Amino acid sequence: MPPTPQRLWRSRIKNGLQTLLIMTGLVLVLSIPGYLFAGPFGVVVCFTTVLLVAYFSSWVPARWILANSGAGLLHRHQAPALYRLLDTLYQRAGLQMHPRLYYAPSAELNAFAVGDQRDGGIAVTEGLLRTLSLRELAGVLAHETSHLCHGDTRVMSIAAAMTRLTVWATTVVQVSLLLMLPMIVTGELAFPWLTLLLVALAPTLSTLLQLALSRNREYTADLEAVAITRDPHGLASALQVLERHQGQWLATLFGQQPPAWIDWLRTHPPTAERIRRLLALTPPDRATSPLDGLNADGQPTLHQRPPPLGPRYWILRR
């Protein structure tokens, strides 16, 4: 049972407000080192740099990122079942572009979206294809399709740019404080306790806000994925599999129960909470996927593994 349109709209509005608040926080944190270094002019320089990075990053084609990650482009004849699945997901999500699916020869269980509605694609790893069923993969691909629809990768790239710029700006301020150390020792200048505290906290605050933004958009992508597939159990099952394979390192480091503070350092929300929200959307006795023609227990089949695209792919392709 997919979420109702009212719930989807409430989720989108809540997500938009949270994104606005977090981005505002990132802007305020970025203004701290800029102001400390050059006053109001430093703030203007920092914000101008972020706007330029955001503008030029929107022109970076998704295929450039994928070509330099070692991924290969899967053609329809190489993965017909996956492309039929993507056709259905894109149609339900309202995406007008043709699906592009990329393959990464990695044993990790991972899938990621790059780009947006104009020029985007989804990459899946060999480990993911070998581990998940088609039904589970449908949930994962729907989740990434949601990221494409709502431009999440662009939003996160802007947030990452602000965090990097905050780190660079605070480094400049710290170097300036070191150069002023002889005058502080001789008593010509008072020790800048407040300045030192601000430049020490700014990078950490910016990183935590960026991680919170990522977790917020992941929750919304889960809900949108269920609206596309109409099958909460498919994505919930996939998350359980991913947690079994990728959550083991936390248990190795901290024991069976990782500390609560570790959730602040995650790019994704806690898997248990995501699964709980998904299972609350449908009765527990639902056993089949409503995606037309999908074999719930089948495995995705690749008739041929594509070679890496190579660095010239993004230039030659039109």
Name the residue ranges covered by the structural domains of the chain.
5-316
Report which of 147, 79, 67, 58 is spatially closest to residue 302, judged by C-alpha positions. Answer: 79
- Is residue 165 over pLDDT 90? no
Active-site positions read 144
Helix, coil or strand: residue 113:
strand
- List the beta bridge partners of residue 122: 101, 113
pLDDT of residue 238: 92
The residue with tokens 């709980």 is: 276
Entry pTM:
0.79
- Is residue 261 over pLDDT 70? no
User: String of b and e for 18-34 (b: at least 16 CB within 10 Å)?
Assistant: bbeebbebbeebbbbbb
Q: In this predicted model, which residue has the larger pLDDT, 315 or 105?
A: 105
DSSP character for 307?
P
- Is residue 306 over pLDDT 50? yes
Helix, coil or strand: residue 232:
helix
- Is residue 257 over pLDDT 60? no
The answer to whether residues 318 and 90 touch, using CB atoms and an 8 Å cutoff, is no
Residues in contact with 244: Cβ distance below 8 Å, sequence separation at least 6, in sequence order: none
**What is the β-pairing status of strands 101-104 and 72-74?**
antiparallel
Whole-number percent of the chain with pLDDT over 90:
8
**Residue 153: what residue type?**
T
Report which of 33, 57, 53 is spatially closest to residue 43, judged by C-alpha positions. Answer: 33
End-to-end CA distance of the chain: 40
99-104 average pLDDT score: 88
- Is residue 66 over pLDDT 90? no
293-300 average pLDDT score: 65
Q: In this predicted model, which residue has the larger pLDDT, 59 or 156?
A: 156
DSSP string for 197-224? HHHHHHHHHHHHHHHHHHHHHHHHHHHH
pLDDT of residue 280: 84
Report which of 25, 46, 271, 65 is spatially closest to residue 153, judged by C-alpha positions. Answer: 65
State CA 211 to chain mean position distance: 9
* Predicted confidence band of residue 183 (pLDDT cuts 50, 70, 90): confident
Q: In this predicted model, which residue has the larger pLDDT, 265 or 158?
A: 158
Burial of 267 (0-12, 13-18, 19+ CB in 10 A): exposed
DSSP character for 99?
P
Report d(CA 273, CA 254) in Å as an integer.
20
101 φ/ψ angles, rounded to the nearest 5 degrees: -115, 130
* Predicted confidence band of residue 250 (pLDDT cuts 50, 70, 90): very low
- Is residue 7 over pLDDT 80? no
